[in-house]
Chains A and B, each alone.
Chain A
Amino acid sequence: MSEPVLIVENLKTYFDIAEGTVKAVNGVSFTLNKNESLGVVGETGSGKSVTMKTIMGLIKKPGYIPEGKILFHTDEFSKDGKKEYIDLTKLPPHQFTRIRGRHIAMIFQDPMTSLNPMYTVADQMIETIMYHQNVSELEARKRAIELLRKVGIPNADKRIDDYPFQFSGGQRQRIVIAIGLSCNPELLIADEPTTALDVTIQAQILELMKDLQNEFNTAMIYITHDLSVVAEIADKVMVMYGGMQMEMADVNTIFEKPTHPYTNMLLNCIPRHDAKKEDLEPIPGQPPIMLDPPNLCPFLPRCPRATDRCRKELAEFKEVEPEHFVRCWNPVADTRMEGDK
């Protein structure tokens, strides 16, 4: 197997605010291979977006990275053309522009945050392509139209000269995907790209992303709070809670053998349209507070399996079987017993 595209080691991102320290990301580690897609799920405020913004070098004051490494495999700075691992946490901002948008692209939930309403789609795409691919304007325009076609914009050769507001929400999101892919990145990070869209449009975009990923061999990180979307698109799943990883495994394991109490309970409280459920088992309690949290399991206040040990020390993120990691003192042994059907 080839080397991973991305290796994240014990990454921490904190925000110092007046009231104390928000430990938004509190020791996250994972690796990502070519053509692999990692689904990231978790409660709101669990640190999903901040983790990805950290990887993209987008953390601003009062945020900082007290610890951790983000190793990205790239030839961008190499002298002999061979790929090497660059630690993105150490990369100065002016050098980050050589990575962001060129080797790592990001798609946000609201396409308007990534599109400039004052410029036509052509203006925005051609500039990116010329900048990153070193081609003439004419060639860049040709490539841009081709990409718009790929993402399913009808009459791409004409519509490329329209402004963002002249497109529907779903089309705008596709344009953002086209722009993201225009630099042919090694890593694509999508943060809830379909949350605001209707299911039929979401299905179109998910299929599109799967196809493009296969075509370009892109590694992908897909953030969502929707477990069904994760089941649809991810190879590997990371479940976050309170700034930490609770569980990580391949997608089938997560859905069939959820071992962390949070994952397990989360799966038992989703209503399904394809099966009749007599009852739902909500997770009692409130989402965690991230301000100066104790160094304990963040799920502790809501966990029915908690024991004295959980109140004393934090469990490690441990490999319980090959490629299946869990952070818990009392993992669920024989999994999805209750609740499902």
Chain B
Amino acid sequence: MLLRVNNLKKYFPIKHGFIVEKTVGYVKAVDGVSFSLDKGETYGLVGESGCGKTTIGKTILRLYNQTDGEIFIDDKDTSYFFMKRSEAKEYLRKHYIDILNKETKKKSESEFLRDLPEYKKTYFEFLIKNGENKFIDFMLSDLKGKRMHFRRKVQIVFQDPTSSLNPRMTVGSILSEPLLFHGIAKNKNEAFDIVKEILVNVGLKKYHVDRYPHQFSGGQRQRIAVARAAILKPDLIILDEPTSALDVSVQAQIIKLLKDLQSELNAGYLFISHDLGVVRFISNYVGIMYLGRMVEYGDSDEIFDNFKHPYTEALLNAAPVPDPRKRRDRKQFIIKGQVPSPINRPKGCFFSPRCKYAFEPCSKKYPPYYEVGNNHFVGCYKYEPKS
């Protein structure tokens, strides 16, 4: 599996006070999100502003360290790669050593290993065989090399190509920088050869190497940003609203480019967008998010055609479609109010104050996920199997 995100949490502390800063609460931007993604596939994340999409992307990219949870890439634990040494040790203790100690009180080592998912087995086998200290030393060895490798294999494309490209650098320098940094090209000439090739690949011209970002249109600049993400042949590309700033006609060009590039690189995409049409078109799987959690997830077509969660229903019915004959009868679906703040979340199901189906259990506890179809999960009490 290319990417596994297990129970990911990211809380931002809210601080108060001038001289002594005190944490008075947390913005629970991401609060227990799990999903996985294979090479060549696209996972779409949708949801309204502030639901935590970008935070998930940035945490996977390790621009933030997670508050809790695990991130495996290519079956390697990357969760602690960018932590301080002491924090990394703490992480390894909590997620490996403590688990082993706790579990082996209940069962034998071999039983424990047998029950583990394959990708975790190697880690625990090493731990059992070599003991805590050697395990930690091994995990923390060559962190610099691990980080370099990670930075090469995971890339991001942001929404706004204007602010993500250095205006003082030519396209050639922007694109050859990562090649030189990672030692893929030995010198500038070699780098420029690769750059010219990728420019043609993303639909630009070889002579564009000498131009500056401002000399391009918005769509062309986004092509440059895509080229920069693709030039190291990454395994995983995080696309955070890559087409939202573009014209409809140009948006389609970029989507097509991304699709072509994916079949060429066989990369996995995490595609973040609030544009439901674009997400449906490009994704194999989707997760619908509300207040830091997924409310519904699974196969893309299945979700869009057979959505079950009341929030998904409201979202999809609110999003207009380019067909004037389908309008007018949608008033019944419009949900009142707005998304509550992630600092002060409602009790029980986060959607309950706005949900027209809310019933008795909804205000007590956050619902678990129920499987309602082939690879289709819903976090809503309406779908609790009757027993």
B338 touches A276 (CB 8 A): no
* A-B pair number, CB within 8 angstroms: 134
Measured between alpha carbons, how far is A283 from B280 in the docked complex, in Å? 20
Partner of B319, one of A230, A252, A273, A281: A273
| Per-position 1/0 for A194-214, Cβ under 8 A of B | 000011111110110000000
**Given A43-B247, A200-B335, A282-B252, residue A232 in contact with residue B320 (CB < 8 A):** yes
Output the least CB separation between B327 and chain A (Å).
5
Contact partners of B49 in chain A: CB under 8 A: 198
Q: Which of B249, B253, B278, B321 has most A Cβ within 10 Å?
A: B249
A284 to B252, CA, bound (A): 9
- Asked whether A82 is an interface residue with its Cβ less than 8 Å from the other chain, the reply is no
Residues of B near A215 (CB, < 8 A) are none
Contacting A276 at CB < 8 Å: which of B253, B255, B275, B301?
B301
B residues contacting the other copy or chain, number (CB 8 A): 49
Q: Which residues of B contact A284 (CB under 8 A)?
A: 253
Q: Inside 8 A of B325's CB, which chain A residues have their CB?
A: 252
A280 & B320 in contact (Cβ 8 Å cutoff): no
CB-based contact B248/A266 at 8 Å: yes
Given known A-B contacts A227-B248, A231-B320, A286 and B220 have beta carbons under 8 A apart = yes
Residues of B within 8 A of A181 (CB): none
Known interface pairs A199-B48, A251-B324; A228-B248 also in contact (CB < 8 Å)? no
Residues of B within 8 A of A255 (CB): 322-324
A43 and B317 alpha carbons, distance in the complex (Å): 26
Interface string of B55-98 (1 = CB under 8 A from A): 00000000000000000000000000000000000000000000
A2 within 8 A of partner (CB) = no
A223 at interface, CB cutoff 8 A:
no
Cβ of B255 and Cβ of A271 under 8 Å apart?
A: yes
The distance in angstroms between the C-alpha atoms of A206 and B319, with both chains bound, is 11
Complex Cα distance A146/B325, Å? 33
Instruction: Please tell me if the beta carbons of A276 and B280 are within 8 angstroms of each other in the complex.
Output: yes
| Chain A residues with CB under 8 A of B255 | 271, 280, 282
CB within 8 Å for A228 and B322 given contacts A200-B334, A271-B255, A274-B304? yes
Contact of B48 with A207 in the complex, beta carbons under 8 Å: no
Partner of B248, one of A252, A269, A274: A269
Does A107 belong to the interface (CB within 8 Å)? no
> 1/0 contact trace for A257-282 toward B, CB 8 Å?
00000000111011111101100111
Interface check A168, CB cutoff 8 A: yes
Give the shortest distance, in Å, between B49 (CB) and chain A (any CB).
5
> Are A227 and B322 in contact (CB-based, < 8 A)?
yes
Q: How far is the CA of A225 from the CA of B281 in the complex (A)?
A: 19
Cβ of A44 under 8 Å from chain B: yes
Identify which of A199, A271, A286 contacts B280 (C-beta below 8 A). A271
In the complex, per-residue mask of B214-226: 1 if CB is within 8 Å of any chain A CB, else 0: 0001111000000
Q: Is B184 an interface residue (CB 8 A)?
A: no
Q: Bound state CA distance, A230 and B323, in angstroms?
A: 9
B316 contact from A168, A171, A273, Cβ within 8 A: A273
- Beta-carbon contact of B249 and A168 below 8 Å: no
| Cβ contact within 8 Å between B319 and A199 | yes
Instruction: Show the binding face of A for B, using Cβ within 8 Å.
Output: 43-44, 168, 170-171, 198-204, 206-207, 225-232, 234, 251-252, 255, 265-267, 269-274, 276-277, 280-284, 286-287
A-B CB contact pairs (8 Å), 16 listed: A170-B338, A200-B335, A203-B320, A203-B333, A203-B334, A206-B320, A226-B248, A231-B322, A251-B324, A255-B322, A273-B276, A273-B277, A273-B319, A276-B301, A276-B305, A281-B252
Beyond the given A171-B338, A203-B333, A283-B249, could you list 19 further A-B residue pairs with CB under 8 A, ordered by the A residue number? A43-B247, A199-B276, A200-B334, A200-B338, A206-B320, A207-B331, A225-B248, A228-B319, A230-B322, A231-B327, A255-B322, A255-B324, A265-B249, A269-B249, A280-B256, A282-B253, A283-B252, A284-B253, A287-B250
